[in-house]
A and B are shown apart, each in its own frame.
Chain A
Amino acid sequence: MKRTPFYQKHVDLGGKMVEFAGFEMPVQYPKGIIAEHKAVREGVGGVFDVSHMGEFDVAGPNALKFLQTITTNDVSALVPGGAQYSSLPNEQGTLLDDLIVYMLEPDHYMVVVNGATADKDWAWFSKQASKFNVKLRNDSDAFALLAVQGKGVKDILQTLTSTNLDEIEYYHFTRGRLADTDMIIARTGYTGEPGYELFFSSAPEISSKVWDKLFEAGKAKGLEPIGLGARDTLRLEMGYCLYGNDITEETNPLEAGLGWITKLNKSIECLAFPALREIKEKGLSRKLVGITTDEKGAIMRHGHKIVDENGYTIGEVTSGNLSPMLNKSIALGYVPTALSKDGSEVLVEVRPGKRVKAVVHKPPFVRPEVK
């Protein structure tokens, strides 16, 4: 199993290490998932090690054409210093991954993909690239990546850099020096809170220095290390998709509510668009929706069946948990299109024989000020 450059930091902090995406990662630290969640949502903020994620460097005169062909969003809308959420479909129109494209300079991009899919994505990128004149480089092992998220993190990070962080807009980035280290400082994240993602060298002495300086600057103010457990509950409260749960090779971006990053009219066609147009014309049979229940003790979870009043399965929960902020269960799941409107009532089987009433609710479930 692989380890990120911060493995020893997690162990020293009492992190509970689990296997995730082929890495030994902290699912939580001693304070626990709910406390970590609240530290990010209500407190100063937290630091997430997301170095397991993959980074691909795409360069060359055909880089734009290549990325337009393999991703669903319109890459031509990006300017240098801009970032774009997008998805990676196959020719059938189902999803290999979701990702973020960062435009470094003309003809030069960085693509950040999920850790669990990085190898599969790399094979797909390499295969597709053979038709284009582009240079690909897999930088996944070269980068350490920390997400620093929460309302107070900007002030903490500002003490470590001369780059004016106020000038980095949402979904933009800059190259700068922070904690005496060259890095990409991106205003992106997966929590719904204001925050940054920092890409820098995974060399042990460098990554260790950045981690230490972050906590030297932030610990007294309440900056906390955050594990995968709270990462999941934070993104769930925002209704952000998790690849492998809510979107998979069995789902297409239109039914997953990712039509906003599927620009069917863009100037250079994506390889999935013929299939996606066909799907769109036929009409969607199901949609990914947010679901809440007020029933106490009924925690909706991945894999729970969504049933009608006769017990007939009509859908499935793809992600679910307790919302630490609402103190009730929230979920994402697929339901028939007819039941996808806000306020539609469904039943979720939370245990064999135990069905609870739940209501379709358009995410986010909480409304923090991300931008």
Chain B
Amino acid sequence: MTFPSDLKYTKDHEWLRVEGTTGYIGITDYAQGELGDVIYLDLKDGVTVNAHESLGTIEAVKTVSDLYSPVSGKVLEAHTPLNDSPETVNRDPYGEGWLVKLELTNPSEAETLLSVEEYKKLIGQ
């Protein structure tokens, strides 16, 4: 399992990549492994959410799981091409498998999230 050091993480196993006032959100390598084969994404586009609010659901063969927003913001793009290749979330969770692009309400919120070391500790890595 890999965990890039330039990302922020949550205890719900999402990651956040901040680029200025834009954030990309996905699920971690650990999360995709736990979920198993991802088969469908039902992501909300255009909505404004607070931190910890749902951005939609991730459906795997085994189960359905909520995706929670690590931070507050407005959804600029739900990564819809994934609906033709949902397995990308398993194959490349930090790259092409990103799920939601967010306009951050308050970029400093990212500082409250877990560092890679803290996240690895959380999952016992």
- Spell out A's residues near B (CB within 8 Å): 16, 27-28, 32-35, 229, 233, 296-297, 299, 301, 321-322, 324, 351
Contacts and interface: CB of A to CB of B under 8 A. Distances in A.
B123 interface: no
Given A296-B40, A299-B39, A299-B40, A33 B83 contact: no
Nearest to A30: B33
Contacts, number: 39
Nearest to A228: B62
A321 to B, nearest CB: 6
A297 B37 contact: no
A233 B61 contact: yes
20 contacts: A16-B36, A27-B62, A28-B36, A28-B62, A32-B36, A32-B90, A33-B36, A33-B62, A34-B37, A229-B62, A296-B40, A296-B83, A297-B42, A297-B59, A297-B83, A299-B39, A299-B59, A299-B64, A322-B39, A351-B42
Interface of A is mostly: mixed
Interface in B32-72: 34, 36-37, 39-42, 57, 59, 61-62, 64
A32 B59 contact: no
Given A32-B90, A296-B83, A297-B83, A229 B36 contact: yes
A27 B33 CA distance: 12
Contact of B37 (A33, A301, A351): A33
Closest 8 CB pairs of A and B: A297-B40, A33-B61, A34-B37, A32-B37, A322-B39, A33-B37, A299-B59, A32-B36
A326 to B, nearest CB: 12
Contacts of A322: 39, 61
A351 B42 CA distance: 11
Contacts of B57: 351
A318 B104 CA distance: 42
Contacts of B41: 297
Interface string B9-40: 00000000000000000000000001011011
Contacts of A35: 37
Nearest to B59: A299
Contacts of B40: 296-297, 299
Nearest to A18: B62
Given A33-B37, A299-B59, 11 more contacts: A16-B34, A16-B36, A27-B62, A28-B62, A33-B36, A34-B37, A34-B61, A229-B36, A297-B41, A297-B59, A324-B61
